[in-house]
Each structure stands twice: as structure tokens, then as C-alpha cells.
Structure 1
Amino acid sequence: MAQIETPSKPHHVVFALLDKFTLISLASAVDALRIANRMAGAKLYTWELMGDGGGTVSCSAGTSFVLDRDLGEVGRDDMLMIVGGVDVARANTKRLLSWLRREARRGITVAGLSTAAHTLAEAGLLDGKRATTHWENHDSFAEDYPDVELTKAVFTIDGKRITTAGGTAEVDLALHLIARDYGEDLAALVADQMIYSSIRTDRDTQRLSIPTRIGVRHPRLSQVIREMEQNIEDPISPSILATNVGMSTRQLERLFRRYLDRSPKRYYMDLRLEKARNLLMQTDMSIINVALASGFTSPSHFSKCYRARYGTTPYRERGAKAD
């Protein structure tokens, strides 16, 4: 590795931890920076933990962390990383959002790790910008923040706004920042230390490819499933799906039965109901709007299908969430 010039002032990262933040997101980012310091034999990065009210904050696994300080001014050259997790909407307090807007107006770089893309969007920091969030929260985010151009990348950088998908995506972001600040060689050494054999970029998507997910490599089957996933709100009939891939409806039926043990109609319905459940659990959308967003024009039909799939009605599901 080429000799690294030790900076006169280390890059400083401020981690603002939301209540019930995801531990792996914080640990992935901090450990990559720590290893960079170790491999370079110099203090390239420093960091601190802050949060609303100071004191302590608990991660989603229940472990408590002592914060270095309450929300306060961040240095102009610092990077601010908001670390989200479970029930991020509840963690987005008025005080937190006001502080975040104030700090962003000072021109600092702000990153939303894991579900904290919601926090940045709620503060109005992502309007007209590209962003990403965990695939499970993708549907609810798109409904809540239509002015944000949502991607499916592991991380997205748009000017001074950065968002990640959570999980190990923070490793990829940290390695990207290390490579930007000190070169690819150091980033590769850090990856090796973390036993991280495949560094992803902002052009890589979060989820496995359709063939990998379903365990079947069949081009036309994958194409049909892709069309289904992209047309949840306005479902396409099996006959049109079949025509689009040059098959008859009967051939498409046999294809799904052979590889997925379900009819195309059943598979499509499961996709729509999965989206509906995500929206019920993650947003405050009305039941009728959840139904419409999932391709149901009749609330009674939606309720009947939902109950058959999940053993409860959408209304009771929403009530259970409130509990």
C-alpha cells in the first residue's frame, strides 16, 4: 500500500442515534473507520455519538449505549450520520427534525443510515433528490415521500445527502468514503480485515436477482415476475403477461406450477398482499388507500383476500400495530 499522508485534522463523523436504532448499521460504519486507522497507523477518522436528550439510547436489540452528548452544533467539515432502526416515525421528534434542518442549512453533509432516510425526508432534506432505504420500507417510503426519487441501490449519494439501505450497506458506504479520502488500496485492506470479499458500489442493488431469490433460472419466468413486481397498483392480467413473453396463458400456468407450485394469479396475489401488509405496518395510510395501492378496488374483496392470507383482517392488523 502506498504511504498515506496523515491529515492535519482527522475526518470527524458525528453519529446521531435514534431510539431503537439498528446496531449493525452503527457497528459496520464505526468498525470500518476504526480498521482504517489501524491499518494506516494514524488517526484518519474520529467519531462521537449524540442523540435527542443525551444520556443513553437503546438499539433495536435492547442494548443501551452511552451518548457523548445531546443534539448540538456539528462542525462545518464534519459528516453527520443519522442512524435509524425500528419504528423510525416515532423516533422523528420535533426537536430532532428542527435540529437536523438547522444543521443542514449550515451546509454539512448529512447521511441517513438504515431507515433514517425517512428522517431526512421528513425534515425535507431529500425533496427532489435521489435516495434509498431498506427494500422492506420501499413501498411505504414511496407513498409518504413522492418528491424523493427512490432507488434500490445499497447506498445513494446525491450532493451532500447520503442514504443507505441498512444491514451491511454501511460497510460499502464506509469503504467508499475511505477510498475517496485515502485511496482504493486502504479501502481494500479494510475490506480484507472485515472478511468482506465483494465491495458493492452505489450502482449495486439491495436484493438478490429474481432467479437467485426464487431458486430458478428461467428467463421468461423472471421477466413475468419482474413485470408483476413493477405493476402492483395496476395488476396485469395473466393473458397479457403471457403474451408479453411469447407464451400462451396455459403455458404460463404450467411454468408457474412447475417451478413455484402456484398459479400466476396466486403468486401475483401474494405479492400484492405482501405490499399491503408492509403499508399497513409501516404507514398511517387509510385502509382504502392501502387497498388501492395494492391493486384492490373493492375494500371487501381486499379484506377477504387479506384474511385468507394472514388470518386476520386489515383493520385488526392495523390495530395490532397500534398496540
Structure 2
Amino acid sequence: MVHPASEKPQPGTLKTFGFLIVPNFTTIGLASAVETLRMANLAAHQPVFRSVLLAADDAPVVASNGMRVLPDCSIARAPALDAVLVVGPNPIERGRATRPLVRWLQQLARQRVPLGGICTGSYLLAKAGLLDGYRCTIHWEDLPTLQAHFPAIIISQQLFELDRDRYTCSGGVAAIDMMLQLLAREPQGVDMAAKAAELMLCDRVRGEREPQRVSLRTLLGSAQPRLSQVVALMEANLEEPLAVEELASLSQVTVRQLERLFNKHLQRTPSQYYLQLRLARGRHLLLNGDAPVGEVALACGFSSPAHFSKSFSRLFGESPSAQRRRARLTPACE
């Protein structure tokens, strides 16, 4: 049950958020943001926020999970907007953002409309030159891609960043946290945000400085700090992998003890787990960059492209080149 707010927003102050959806957009990010605004209206007992779905044209937009979503209107017929959030695609569509979308976002920026990105939406804003001089974030898997293409941008690994009139979040349910913080900035918004969070069964509202990734220690519980320490060492040394003996020595355990820990909690040997981490990193670089397979292999600690390709094919069922080609056949934002 929602209890009446002590102070309600004044009637006639409806604020309109536009959500720009592009092909392959992530539905969890969109739903998390839109539902937060809906719950805020319920908490306020009156319409305070309105969500408008926007697209390049009036045609349905296919999400990354295959859902077809009909926008409320095209960008050409967009109503007056108080803020616009770009819901980015998965994976990032490098070099395929349309000029009309970029020009429209640039026009909004000139009109001082606050702009934001959900998940990889930050990439489109960066492509439009609208994150220069701002702090921003993006999903942790896509952070290296954003850094590589826009080295001058200040990028963080936080859940979300609210920097003046730029709002970016890492995607997924982090959109809820970002929207709740934006709600709290409104007049009498703190109470409204708290009630909206309660309606969504959020046991707490995460702050923007919290990290994106759930640590292995959190997943396994605090009873396995040694295992978490070893995995952290692995993740920090993908390009120049450490030997199992070095990992054991640095973690002050024997190789046998290390193997028992991995077998018990991760159902694989330390070497197998380490190899999967390196290959997962390689797959991400392949799908989100243009580096040759040989360079990707070196970046993941493989001495030769042939060794990398063989290991990659064994884990993912197809060669690195084949997976990259198939990914690029995915419908993009034309």
C-alpha cells in the first residue's frame, strides 16, 4: 500500500522523458527506467512523469531479445521533452548510427535538453560528440570499446553517472537506481523516490559510486576470500597469464589446495577457469572492436593466433572469424 506523500508535486508539472530506442536495444534497461517513472506516479497519487518511446521512424523496433516494440512516435514528431535517454543496442553497432539520430541529439543538446544513455546508449552520445568534458559510464563489457574509440572521454566503472545535464547508466537494473536518484532531485522527490523503490520491492537504492560487477566473493559468500583473491589475480593478468604455481604462491596456498577450491566451488581446475576468462575477454574484443584476430590473441595471453583459434572454437563452437562475421550480420540501426 502506498501512503500519501507529505507534500505532493504541484498539479500541472508533468515532466516528459523521451526514450530513444534503436535496433537491438536492451529491454531490461528500458523497462527498468520506464517502470520507475510509473511507480513514481503511483507514489505521488497523480501523473508527475510521462514516458514517450521514440525511434528513427514509426516502424516497430526489434530489441536484442527479439521483441518488436512500437514507438509512440518518430523523432521527427517528438513532443516537447524534458530529458531524452538513449537505450543502446547489444552489441554496440560500431559506425552504424544514423546521421539523423546524431543530428537530432545534437539539436536537443543545443536546446539544453538533458541527455542520457542506458547501457550502450553512451556510445551513441559519444559518437554525437555530446559526452566531451562529461563523466559517463557504460556496461562493463563495453567499457574497453568506448575507451578505445573515445580516449578523451572521462569514463567510469560505476553503476551510473549524473554529471550536470548528462545521465548515463551501465544498463540492466542499474537504470532503476539512476532514475530513483533523478526522482530524488525533484521537488519533494526524496519521499516519492523512496515510495517508488518500495513499490518495486527494492530493499535499498544503490548509489552511483557502487561498482557494476557482482564480485565472486558476493556470489560465493564471505567464506571463500582465498578463491576470490585468486580470481581477482586472474582477471588482472589476462594479457600475461600467471602460472598456477604463481597464483598459489601469491595467495599463500599450495597448488593442491588451490585445485581443491576450484573443483569444489567452480567445478573446474584453475587452468580451465583461467582459460575461460581469457577466451571470454577475447570474444568481447572480437565482437566489439576491429582488431585482427592475431592482436586479440595477444591481448588475451595467447602466443599464436592458431592456439587462440583452436581454444576459442572448442569453447564457443565456431572460429573467432566465423563468430565475428555472424555477429555483424545482426540487423543494425540503418
Quote the Cα distance in structure 1 between the aligned partners of 2:133 and 2:293.
Answer: 28
SS in 1 for 2:20: strand
Deviation readout 1:275-315 (Å, 9 max, x if unpaired): 11122223333212222222224212211221232232212
Name the structure 1 match of 2:332.
none
Distance 1:50 1:261, change over 3 A: closer
Percent identity, aligned pairs only? Answer: 36
Q: Does 1:280 align with 2:286?
A: yes
Q: Does 1:86 align with 2:90?
A: yes
Name the structure 2 match of 1:50.
54
Structure 2 gap ranges (5+): 330-334
CA RMSD of aligned residues (A): 2.7
Q: CA deviation at 1:248?
A: 4.0
Distance 1:141 1:249, change over 3 A: farther
Name the structure 2 match of 1:39.
43
Name the structure 1 match of 2:152.
147
Quote the Cα distance in structure 2 between the aligned partners of 1:22 and 1:276.
Answer: 23
Name the structure 1 match of 2:75.
70
Q: CA deviation at 1:258?
A: 4.1
SS in 2 for 1:89: coil
Deviation readout 1:235-273 (Å, 9 max, x if unpaired): 233333333222344543443344334332222111000
Q: Which moved more, 1:155-164 or 1:137-146?
A: 137-146
Quote the Cα distance in structure 2 between the aligned partners of 1:290 and 1:66.
Answer: 38
Q: Which moved more, 1:186-195 or 1:17-26?
A: 17-26
2:191 to 159, 168, 185: 185
2:215 to 209, 212, 219: 209
Letter of the 1:52 partner, please give it.
A
Q: Which moved more, 1:55-64 or 1:77-86?
A: 55-64
2:22 to 14, 18, 21: 18
Name the structure 2 match of 1:2.
6
Q: CA deviation at 1:107?
A: 3.2
Q: Where do 1:239-254 residues align within 5 Å?
A: 239-254=245-260
Distance 1:122 1:280, change over 3 A: same
Q: Does 1:30 align with 2:28?
A: no
Contact preservation (8 Å) 2:41, 2:48: yes
Name the structure 1 match of 2:232.
226
1:99 to 101, 104, 116: 104
Distance 1:109 1:157, change over 3 A: same
Contact preservation (8 Å) 2:58, 2:70: no
Contact preservation (8 Å) 1:55, 1:70: no
Quote the Cα distance in structure 1 between the aligned partners of 2:105 and 2:303.
Answer: 40
Letter of the 1:100 partner, please give it.
L
